[in-house]
Amino acid sequence: DAGVIQSPRHEVTEMGQEVTLRCKPISGHNSLFWYRQTMMRGLELLIYFNNNVPIDDSGMPEDRFSAKMPNASFSTLKIQPSEPRDSAVYFCASSFETGSLPQHFGDGTRLSIL
Amino acid sequence: AQSVTQLGSHVSVSEGALVLLRCNYSSSVPPYLFWYVQYPNQGLQLLLKYTTGATLVKGINGFEAEFKKSETSFHLTKPSAHMSDAAEYFCAVSGPSGAGSYQLTFGKGTKLSVIP
């Protein structure tokens, strides 16, 4: 079975541009997580969805960040406008139990904002 | 509040030697504890977890960890290192909403190098 699929794997763009990261969770999983990983701050939970509904977005840094899950097989994380400090690796993870810990991570999107 | 401290950002061991990666935690509730492994350019994989019951837990790839409440520790060990164990390892504690919560607090990670 395919794991969590993220695209693109790498993104380089200029400051001020809109960035959209995509995630396809494992089929049948009802929980989806977006994480950000940086050297300075480590792994941070940005947002948690359950059954396509955002349950906890307290980790979203500011209004420039938004996330959607229009259906059970697709989620996006959007940054508009992007800033150099948004440069990080962004991970999507999914699990099949409500409220459970993230079990399966995608390989991440490495984002560089110039 | 939850916190995790991993002692040593880098650990080097010889192939065949004991692997010991240290993790201490702070938790306001009885903790659930986890170890994840991250190989280069990949996402995290769950190695093992402690929830309740037996304090020595076994995971994948020959790793195990022991929950010691009195020491607030959850150190990861493997008797004999293999080249394929080279990766970054993250300790995590669940909370603060309670054990089993989706909210994980991760340590900063320990990068393990295995010397042939």
8 Å CB contact between B2 and B106: no
CB contact under 8 A, B45 and A105: yes
Residue A23 clears pLDDT 80, i.e. is over it: yes
Most A CBs within 10 Å, among B32, B41, B48, B102, to test the A interface:
B102
Residue A100 clears pLDDT 80, i.e. is over it: no
- Touching B: A residues 62-81, CB under 8 Å: none
Structure-token pair, residue B15: 């192939």
**B89 Cβ neighbours under 8 A, 6+ residues apart:** B6, B21, B35, B36, B37, B38, B47, B76, B109, B110, B111, B112
Residue A24 clears pLDDT 80, i.e. is over it: yes
A25–chain B Cβ distance below 8 A for any pair: no
B1–chain A Cβ distance below 8 A for any pair: no
pLDDT of residue A97: 72
CB contact under 8 A, B104 and A107: no
- Digit-by-digit pLDDT tens for chain B (116 residues) are 788 999 999 999 999 999 999 999 998 777 889 999 999 988 899 999 998 889 999 999 999 999 999 999 999 999 999 999 999 999 999 865 554 567 888 999 999 999 99
Contacts of B88 in chain A (CB under 8 A): none
Binned at pLDDT 50, 70 and 90, residue A91 comes out as very high
Q: Which of B45, B42, B83, B85 is nearest to B63 (CA)?
A: B85
Closest chain A residue by Cα to residue B35: A103
CB contact under 8 A, B107 and A105: no
Q: What is the mean pLDDT of residues A91-100?
A: 83
**Count of CB pairs separated by less than 8 Å, A with B:** 49
Q: Which of A38, A6, A7 is nearest to A104 (CA)?
A: A6
Q: Which of A49, A25, A46 is nearest to A88 (CA)?
A: A46
B96–chain A Cβ distance below 8 A for any pair: no
B45–chain A Cβ distance below 8 A for any pair: yes
Structure-token pair, residue B20: 């010991």
Q: What CA–CA distance (Å, rounded) separates B76 from B73?
A: 10
Query: Side chain identity at B17, as an amino acid letter?
Result: A
For the stretch A38-75, pLDDT in tens is 988 889 999 999 999 999 999 998 899 999 999 999 99
Contacts of A33 in chain B (CB under 8 A): 102
Q: Which of B31, B35, B32 is nearest to B21 (CA)?
A: B35
